[in-house]
Structure 1
Amino acid sequence: MNMLQGSPWLLAHRSMLKPNQPMKVSLYGQDYVIWQDSNREIHALPNACPHMGAMLSEGWCVAKPDGTSTIACPFHALEFDQTGSTVLPGSNKVTKSLLKPLELIIQGDLVWSYGGVEPETPIPTVLDEFAAEYEFAGVAGHRSIKTDLLTMLLNMHDYNHQNGTHRPLFEIERVEFKQFIDQGFRSHAYYDMPRAKPKLQDILKNPALLAMPKVLEAHLENHFPAIVIFHGEVPIGTIKQCHIFVPESETHTRTFVLVFGKFKHPVFRLMKNNVLQLVETVVDQDADILGKLYPETPQHIKLNNEIGMDWVRRNFESFPEVVEPNLSR
């Protein structure tokens, strides 16, 4: 299955990597262990120990006096450095590299990779721009979803599902689509979502609902295939929700959301956790519906405003080239 090899994928934000604690990531059907040492250097190796295949991500990091660290296998405590070399028991000699490191591209707090594939498209700069201008609020909705990359992207660019999938809690009544701007592998979608009055029990669960306007004015900025940005203007300030997608395998896609904000008053920073909780709810709702689809069902109905889905299908089929038609309207 096509996983758009040659695209840059955002594997993690630095805040997701606690110093000297291994984390498992997957890309193109290959599992890796990724870790950050005390020098803030980030490394990644194939996750299977070359001895008997134990998961290195289930092991631990061994910190060294110079700030570097090795990853220790949980089975026999063999330590592998960032080059994939180890020292066998009873030997003082370092082996040749037994694990090929995954090439990482570190840009500030962002950890990118092409997964060992020749690059076809450049790394987007939009997240670096947000990091320079806005306060980083945190990461939300980090999970692996049992769905292929194309199905995940079609869901994220289905502008009709807001008043269905996301009706609970947000009480979205309908979607009023306004404009779609097609810029090849980049696009913008604008639509309004009138909301019913939130229920008291929902407000008690998350007071951030009180900061949401009666009509949500949505601006989605899309960078194919890996980033969908929801630009939000709410009474507490400006919010940028950056939804990230990583093709773990043919059947699973990992997602997480980077949230940036510009708050109008210092007291509103106290609501960051409430904003992150709302984002968690959005991801939970999407994950729930994606787990209840029959993905092979032929589509005999086409709704209005499926232009975002058409944009995804066109780019998916033509990647790495952008072909007509231009879908702006």
Structure 2
Amino acid sequence: MEQLQGSPWLLAHRSMLKPNQLRKFSLLGRDYVLWKDSQGKITALPNACPHMGAMLSEGWCVTQSDRSSTIACPFHALEFDHQGCTVLPGFNRQTKSLLSPLELIIQGDLIWSYGGYEPKIPIPDLMNAIATEYDFIGVTGERSIPTDILSLLLNMHDYNHQNGTHRELFEIEEVQVKQFIDEGLHSHAYLAQPRKQPTWREILRNPAQLALPKVLEAHLENYFPFMGVMHGDNKILSLKECHFYLPESVGRSRVFVLMYMQAHSPIAHLLKRNLLKLIDVVVEQDARILNRVYPNTPQRIKLNNEVGMDWVRRNFEQFPSVKTEP
């Protein structure tokens, strides 16, 4: 897992953590336990108990008198604090730190980490700007997918797959890449996607179709390798669909989506739940196709509109230093 060391990774939105409930996550081949105490303090520790290796995420939280919390190992109930210290049975003093906390960078409701490695690229300001200007409407599409991070990123930047993988959802008839702006590890793609007009039966089954025009004009802003944002605007609402990608291990990746909205019409508020459901289906379709791909198959055919995939391959090979074409 050396390829992308030094990239920031968004671990979670604060809303994904309930007080004193443990959450296991994996990053760059290592497992951690993440929790938020009653005061809102968020901590991540290595998930293996230093006694006999039990998964701490299978344990529980113990609330202290100051409303902080320790986590208890499910095997022998040893309690570890935010610094990874514990008190052994028969002793009245804390040990030194036996579990080194993972360094977290918390910006508002967003919990970032470099996975314990030296930062090589900065956390962009975009998410802070979105959180300031838009209403957060929820998290959707969280999946752990048995595929490597490169395959996941290639899929997410494959502009041709909408009229295959997502045919039933959007009935896209054609994908037109109007412009691709390459700024190294940052890029913008502007797409036009004519689609078949939905029937009233399809609208009744999924009212979020009302927010989709005849031609989907998409602005995709990408930050390699960890984030892609779809900027959408119409007369009903403005939407920020923020996708996050994490390499859990060599052959497994995680994805989730944060959704933000500005309402231009009262009907927008009625669509929130349907929008979250729609994007969850989109991610499920992507996950399903990635489970049906033979890895490392030589690419003997090249389609048009593969500029996003070429961008991913180049950045993956050259990360973190990228040389763009003149």
Corresponding residue for residue 81 of structure 2: 81
Corresponding residue for residue 66 of structure 2: 66
Corresponding residue for residue 189 of structure 1: 189
Corresponding residue for residue 171 of structure 2: 171
Q: CA separation in 2, counterparts of 1:86 and 1:199?
A: 62
* 8 Å CA contact 1:147, 1:253 repeated in 2: yes
Superposed displacement of residue 195, structure 1: 1.2
* 8 Å CA contact 2:28, 2:247 repeated in 1: yes
Return the letter of the residue paired with 1:209: Q
Superposed displacement of residue 67, structure 1: 2.1
Superposed displacement of residue 87, structure 1: 1.1
* 8 Å CA contact 1:3, 1:149 repeated in 2: no
Superposed displacement of residue 233, structure 1: 1.4
Percent identical pairs in the alignment equals 65
* 8 Å CA contact 2:182, 2:324 repeated in 1: no
* 8 Å CA contact 1:3, 1:28 repeated in 2: no
Superposed displacement of residue 91, structure 1: 2.1
Q: Structure 1 pair 299/2, CA: closer, same or farther in 2 (3 Å)?
A: farther
SS at match of 1:281: helix
Superposed displacement of residue 162, structure 1: 0.9
Return the letter of the residue paired with 2:95: T
Q: TM-score, normalised by structure 1?
A: 0.96
Corresponding residue for residue 30 of structure 2: 30
Q: CA separation in 2, counterparts of 1:4 and 1:51?
A: 31
Q: Structure 1 pair 65/201, CA: closer, same or farther in 2 (3 Å)?
A: farther
1:101-134 Cα offsets, whole Å, 9 max, x none, are 1111111111111111111111111100100100
1:172-204 Cα offsets, whole Å, 9 max, x none, are 111122110011111000111111122555433
The 5 Å alignment of 1:133-212 reads 133-200=133-200, 202-212=202-212
Superposed displacement of residue 234, structure 1: 3.1
Superposed displacement of residue 170, structure 1: 1.5
SS at match of 1:106: strand
Corresponding residue for residue 123 of structure 2: 123
Corresponding residue for residue 252 of structure 2: 252
* 8 Å CA contact 1:238, 1:263 repeated in 2: yes
Q: CA separation in 1, counterparts of 2:41 and 2:146?
A: 31
The 5 Å alignment of 1:1-329 reads 2-200=2-200, 202-326=202-326
Q: CA separation in 1, counterparts of 2:4 and 2:172?
A: 33
Return the letter of the residue paired with 1:246: L
Q: CA separation in 1, counterparts of 2:199 and 2:247?
A: 37
Q: CA separation in 1, counterparts of 2:21 and 2:202?
A: 36
1:275-308 Cα offsets, whole Å, 9 max, x none, are 1001101100100100100111100001011111
Superposed displacement of residue 2, structure 1: 4.5
Which range moves more in the overlay, 250-259 or 316-325?
A: 316-325
Q: In the comparison of the two structures, how many residue pairs are matched?
A: 326
Q: CA separation in 1, counterparts of 2:108 and 2:247?
A: 23
Superposed displacement of residue 250, structure 1: 0.7
Which range moves more in the overlay, 59-68 or 243-252?
A: 59-68
Structure 1 gap segments, 5+ residues each: none
SS at match of 2:54: coil
Q: TM-score, normalised by structure 2?
A: 0.97
Structure 2 gap segments, 5+ residues each: none
Return the letter of the residue paired with 1:148: D
C-alpha root-mean-square deviation of aligned residues, in Å? 1.3
Q: Structure 1 pair 201/90, CA: closer, same or farther in 2 (3 Å)?
A: farther
Q: CA separation in 2, counterparts of 1:77 and 1:259?
A: 38
Return the letter of the residue paired with 1:116: G
1:244-285 Cα offsets, whole Å, 9 max, x none, are 001111111111001011011345223211110011011001
* 8 Å CA contact 2:183, 2:324 repeated in 1: no
Return the letter of the residue paired with 1:14: R
Return the letter of the residue paired with 1:319: F
1:8-63 Cα offsets, whole Å, 9 max, x none, are 11111101111111101111100000001111110000001112211111111111
* 8 Å CA contact 1:21, 1:36 repeated in 2: yes
